[in-house]
Structure 1
Amino acid sequence: MAIAFHFAARSDVGMVRSNNEDSGYAGPHLLAMADGMGGHAGGDVASSTILGALVGLDGESFSGADATRALLRRITAANAELGRMVQEDPDLDGMGTTLIAILRARDKLVLAHIGDSRAFLVRDGKVAQITKDHSFVQSLVDEGRLTPDEASTHPQRSLVTRVLTGGDEEEPDVVVRQAVVGDRYLICSDGLSDYVARDTIDEVLTTERKPDVCAERLVQLALRAGAPDNVTVVIGDVVDLTRGPVPSDSPQVVGAAAARRQRTRPIPVTPASKAAALSKEATGADDDDVQLAEEGPRSRRTTVLRALGASLLAVMVLVAGGYAAYAWTQSQFYVGVNDGRVAVFKGVDQALGPIDLSQAETTSGIDVDDLPDFYRGQLGRGITMSTRSDASALVRNLEVQAQACRYAKTQGQACTTVPSTWTTPTPSPTPTPTASPTPSGSVPTPTGTITATATPSATAAP
C-alpha cells in the first residue's frame, strides 16, 4: 500500500513575544516541529538548524531500520552543528531546542522525540498522547509525587530535562509505529498544550476534517486563551495514495525556519494587532467592504466619513488590545539575575520596542556565581513563577543550593546537580564541614545530600 500524509502546518509568535523561536515542517512523508529556547541567545537559530537538517528526508524511500538510522544520523549531525555554532559565537551559548519528527518508512512511521513538545494520535475518534515529556514535572509524576492535573499547572512545568543544545550525549527517544490509513497525527509546541484544555484540543482534532482548517483553529484557540508563548501546530493525516493523490505535495515551512510566511492571511505581529484580528473574527466582519448593487455609488463625503470612522475604531481596538496585553504581563513573576544576584522580577522577560515589560522587585544577596551550573542557566533565561510567593520560595531554595555549592567548592568537589525538589523550606545555617570527605562524591546540605557528580541538565523552555 502506498501511503503519505495529507498535511498542514501553522505557527504564530503568540500574544506577548516579539520573535518566533518555533520551527515547523509538514510534507508528504515528514512531519517535524522544534521549539527553540534561549531568547536572544538563539532559540530560533537552534530550531531552524535542526529542522533544516531533516527536510531532505522527505520523499526518500526507507525501510523502518534504514529510516531510523537516517533520522538519528541527521539529528546527531545537526546537534553537533549547534555545538560548533556556540563555540564560534559565545552569544549563542544557552540556545537549545526540543524536537518531534515523524518520518514515513513504507508502511511504518518512525517517531523521534526529545523535550516537552507533544505528539498526539487520533484513531477511531479517540485521541491519545504518544510522547512523554522530558521535563522536571513529568519526573515528579513518574515518581508519584504529582498528579497529571497538578503537573499541568505546576510553576516549573516549563523546565525540560532533555533537549538538543549541542552536547555529545543528547539523543531523542525513537519508536517505530505501524502506519494506519485514517489516523491523524498532531505535533505541537507547548504554546498550544499549555494554554488550551486537552478536551478542547481533542474536540477540534476529531471534528475538523481538513488538516489546514484544524491547524488554523487550534492556533486561534491558543491566541484566544492569551498564550504568551509561540504556538506551532503540525498535522498529518495518513492517506492511501491508491485511492487518489494527496491534495498537495508542496511542503509547508513555518515559524523561524520559514523562508517566507505561508499563511492564508496576514499575520498580526503585535499584541494589539492580534487583539484587533481576534475582535474582527469574533464579530464575523469580512476583510473587504463589499458594496451591494442596489446601494448605488457612494458620495465622496460618505466615503471619507466611513474611512475616518473605521480608522478611529481601529485605533480604539489597538489601544484596548495593547493595554490588555500589557496589563497581563504585569501580573506575571519570574526569578532571574539583577547585577549578578538572584532577583524576583514582576512582568515578563521581554521588551516591546523601548518599553521593558519587567522590573526587579526584590534583589537577594545570593551571588549567581555561587550556584550550580544548572541554576545559572535557568536564571539567565528567567524562571517563570505563578505568584510572588512562589518566586520567594524559589529564592529561599536557591539560598540553600548556594550554601551547599560553596561548601562543595571548599572540598574541591563539583556542584552541578539537578535538584530533587524546587520547594525546599526556608534554609537553615550552612552545615559544618566534617573531618573527612563525604563518601561517593556527595556533600551535606541543609536539606540532605546533593550528589556532586554530573546529571542530565535541565533547561527552561520558552
Structure 2
Amino acid sequence: MPIALHYAARTDLGLGSKSRNEDSGYAGPDLLILADGMGGHAAGDVASSTVVGELVALDGEGVGADDALHQLGEAVKRANDRLRDEMDHSDDLEGMGTTLIALLRTGTKLALANIGDSRAFMLRGGTFSQITKDHSFVQALLDDGRITPEEAEHHPQRSLVTRVLTGRDDDVPDLSMREAQIGDRYLLCSDGLSDYVAGSTIEDILRGSQTPAEAADRLVAIALRASTRDNVTVVVADVVDQSEPVHNQPQVVGAAAALGTAGDQAVEAPAPLTPAEKAAALSREANTPLNQQPPPEGPHGPQLAEEGPRSPRAAWFRWGALGGLILCVLLIAAFVGYRWSQQQFYVGEERGLVTIYQGVPQDFGPFSLHSVDSKTDIATTDLPQFYRDRVDSTLSASSKNEAIRIVEDLRTEMVKCQTGTADGSTCTP
C-alpha cells in the first residue's frame, strides 16, 4: 500500500550558555534530517546548516528503492566535502563538525544514514526502539561491557563523540534500509533531548500525542523542564496511508532556517505554542508604543463600579508592600541558587589547560557563578579535536571526584593518541 509521511519539526535554544542554535532540522514529504553542529567558536551552526542545505535536494526527487541507499550515501559525502571546502576558505571555521541523521523515503522503504550521537527512535505497535547506534565514548564503554545502559544514561562523558562529519575522508556514516509500516512513528532528536529526558518519558509522549506536531511540542517542552543546557531539536513523522490528507509543506528549523541554507524549499514557521513563544508574543504586546495603546480611564486607570474613589496614598502603600515582598522572595531565591551553584563542578578550559571549576559556567550580571578549583597539566591542544570541543563547551560533573575522573579519562585519551594506540578517527587534531 502506498505510504506518505506526516511530520513536524521543532527546536529551541535551550537553557545553557549558547547564544546561537547550532542544531538544524528539516522535515519534508520524502526526507527527514537532523544535524547537531559542534565546534563552539568554530561555527557549529554553519556545519549543521551546510549539511542540511546539501541533502535537502533529495526531497521530492523520487529516488528508486534500489538506488536510495547509494544516493543518500553520496549526498552525505558531498555534504562532508562541502564542509572541507568551507573550512579551506575560512580559518574561523576550521574544526567545525556536525552529527547527522537522515531518513529518505522511497516507496514503502526508508533509507537511513547516521553519524554521531544524535538519535532516531521508532514506535511500532507495542515496541519502542532506538534504530541508530551512537558513535560516542560512552557507547564504546557499553559495547565493551564496562558500564550498564543505566550508567550510560547519566554518564558525565556521554557527550564525547568519536565520529561525526568534519570534512575528512574517513567520516563515513552508518547506512541501512528498513521497511516502513502504516502506523509507525519516527523521532529524530539531538542530545539536548536524549541526554536530559529518560527514554521511558520520550516513549510516553510519543504514545500519548495525537499528531507529530503535538509530540514535537511536548518533547521540546519536557526538555526545557528538565533544564537542558544544550540546543534541543526534534523531528517527528508518522507513516500514513498515501490516500490520507497530509500536510506537505516542508519545515526548516534551527541554524538552517536562520542562515537560509535549505535551498529553495519553502519554510513554515510553527505556530507559537510553547511557553517561551507565548511569552515573546506577550512581550511584543507589552512594548507597543504608547500612542497605539488605548487611553486610561480616569486619573488612575479604569475604576470598577463597586469601588469608591481611590486614594493615591493607599495605592502607593499597597504597591510598596508588594514590591518589598517580591524583593525578599528574589533575595532568598538568589541566595539559595548561589548556594546550590557552589556545590556544582565542571571541567573546562583556562589559558589553554584543562581545568576543574567549582560552580556553574554562567554569570549573573557582574557576579560570576564559577571559580577555578584546580588546573591540570593537560593542554587542550594535545586533546583530539572533538574532545577539545567538548572541553570548550564544558563537561558537567556531579561532584569534585566525578570531575577528577573526567580529567583522568581525558588524560587517557590524550596518551592513547600520543602513543598511537587509539582509533585513528578519534585522534585527528
Q: Shorter-chain TM-score: which interval? A: 0.7 to 0.9
Q: CA deviation at 1:116?
A: 0.9
Q: CA deviation at 1:353?
A: 8.1
Correspondences of 1:339-354 after superposition (within 5 Å): 339-349=351-361
* Distance in 1 separating the partners of 2:366 and 2:81: 36
Counting matched residue pairs gives 391
TM-score by length of 2: 0.79
Match of residue 119 from structure 1? 120
- Secondary structure of 1:127's counterpart equals strand
Per mean C-alpha deviation after superposition, the further-off stretch among 254-263 and 82-91 is: 254-263
1:384 to 396, 410, 413: 396
Correspondences of 1:29-48 after superposition (within 5 Å): 29-48=30-49
Correspondences of 1:421-436 after superposition (within 5 Å): none
Q: CA deviation at 1:15?
A: 1.4
Q: CA deviation at 1:258?
A: 1.1
Which letter does structure 2 place at the counterpart of 1:234?
V
Residues 48-85 of structure 1, C-alpha deviation per residue, up to 9 Å, x if partnerless? 11111111111111122322122111111111111122
Cα gap change, 1:373 to 1:19, in 2 (>3 Å): closer
Which letter does structure 1 place at the counterpart of 2:51?
I
- Secondary structure of 1:111's counterpart equals strand
Match of residue 7 from structure 2? 7
Q: Contact between 1:366 and 1:399, CA under 8 Å: does it hold in 2? A: yes
Q: CA deviation at 1:233?
A: 0.8
Per mean C-alpha deviation after superposition, the further-off stretch among 42-51 and 389-398 is: 389-398
Gaps of 5+ in 2: 259-266, 287-294, 304-309
Q: Contact between 1:335 and 1:343, CA under 8 Å: does it hold in 2? A: yes
Match of residue 265 from structure 1? 272
* Distance in 2 separating the partners of 1:344 and 1:173: 35
- Secondary structure of 1:364's counterpart equals strand
* Distance in 2 separating the partners of 1:102 and 1:164: 17
Correspondences of 1:437-456 after superposition (within 5 Å): 450-452=419-421, 455-456=424-425
Q: Contact between 1:24 and 1:232, CA under 8 Å: does it hold in 2? A: yes
Q: Contact between 2:220 and 2:233, CA under 8 Å: does it hold in 1? A: yes
Match of residue 438 from structure 1? none
Match of residue 250 from structure 2? 251
Which letter does structure 1 place at the counterpart of 2:27?
A
Match of residue 350 from structure 2? 338
Correspondences of 1:128-207 after superposition (within 5 Å): 128-207=129-208
* Distance in 2 separating the partners of 1:134 and 1:7: 26
Q: Contact between 1:7 and 1:235, CA under 8 Å: does it hold in 2? A: yes
Q: Contact between 2:356 and 2:374, CA under 8 Å: does it hold in 1? A: yes
Q: Contact between 1:252 and 1:262, CA under 8 Å: does it hold in 2? A: yes
Cα gap change, 1:346 to 1:208, in 2 (>3 Å): same
* Distance in 1 separating the partners of 2:136 and 2:368: 30
Q: CA deviation at 1:200?
A: 1.3
* Distance in 2 separating the partners of 1:328 and 1:34: 34
Correspondences of 1:15-164 after superposition (within 5 Å): 15-16=15-16, 17-164=18-165
Cα gap change, 1:49 to 1:352, in 2 (>3 Å): farther
Cα gap change, 1:147 to 1:330, in 2 (>3 Å): same
Residues 187-224 of structure 1, C-alpha deviation per residue, up to 9 Å, x if partnerless? 11111111112111111111211111111011101111
Residues 82-114 of structure 1, C-alpha deviation per residue, up to 9 Å, x if partnerless? 112222222222211111111101111101111
Q: CA deviation at 1:29?
A: 1.0
Cα gap change, 1:377 to 1:222, in 2 (>3 Å): closer
Per mean C-alpha deviation after superposition, the further-off stretch among 143-152 and 388-397 is: 388-397
TM-score by length of 1: 0.74
- Secondary structure of 1:170's counterpart equals coil
* Distance in 2 separating the partners of 1:49 and 1:354: 37
Q: Contact between 2:160 and 2:387, CA under 8 Å: does it hold in 1? A: no
Which letter does structure 2 place at the counterpart of 1:32?
I
Match of residue 214 from structure 1? 215
* Distance in 1 separating the partners of 2:68 and 2:192: 29
* Distance in 1 separating the partners of 2:11 and 2:54: 19
Residues 382-404 of structure 1, C-alpha deviation per residue, up to 9 Å, x if partnerless? 333332222223435556777xx
Q: CA deviation at 1:266?
A: 7.8
Q: Contact between 1:49 and 1:82, CA under 8 Å: does it hold in 2? A: yes
Gaps of 5+ in 1: 281-286, 289-296, 406-414, 418-449
Cα gap change, 1:193 to 1:377, in 2 (>3 Å): closer
* Distance in 1 separating the partners of 2:279 and 2:342: 23
- Secondary structure of 1:14's counterpart equals coil
Match of residue 457 from structure 1? 426
Q: Contact between 1:159 and 1:458, CA under 8 Å: does it hold in 2? A: no
Q: CA deviation at 1:264?
A: 1.3
Q: CA deviation at 1:350?
A: 6.0
* Distance in 2 separating the partners of 1:38 and 1:388: 26
Q: Contact between 2:25 and 2:52, CA under 8 Å: does it hold in 1? A: yes
* Distance in 2 separating the partners of 1:395 and 1:342: 8
Residues 119-147 of structure 1, C-alpha deviation per residue, up to 9 Å, x if partnerless? 11111143111111111111111111111
Cα gap change, 1:396 to 1:66, in 2 (>3 Å): closer
Cα gap change, 1:97 to 1:358, in 2 (>3 Å): farther
Correspondences of 1:223-372 after superposition (within 5 Å): 223-242=224-243, 244-246=244-246, 248-259=247-258, 262-265=269-272, 277=279, 299-300=297-298, 301-303=300-302, 332-349=344-361, 358-369=370-381
Which letter does structure 1 place at the counterpart of 2:219?
L
Match of residue 416 from structure 1? 417
Q: Contact between 2:40 and 2:389, CA under 8 Å: does it hold in 1? A: no
* Distance in 2 separating the partners of 1:325 and 1:19: 25
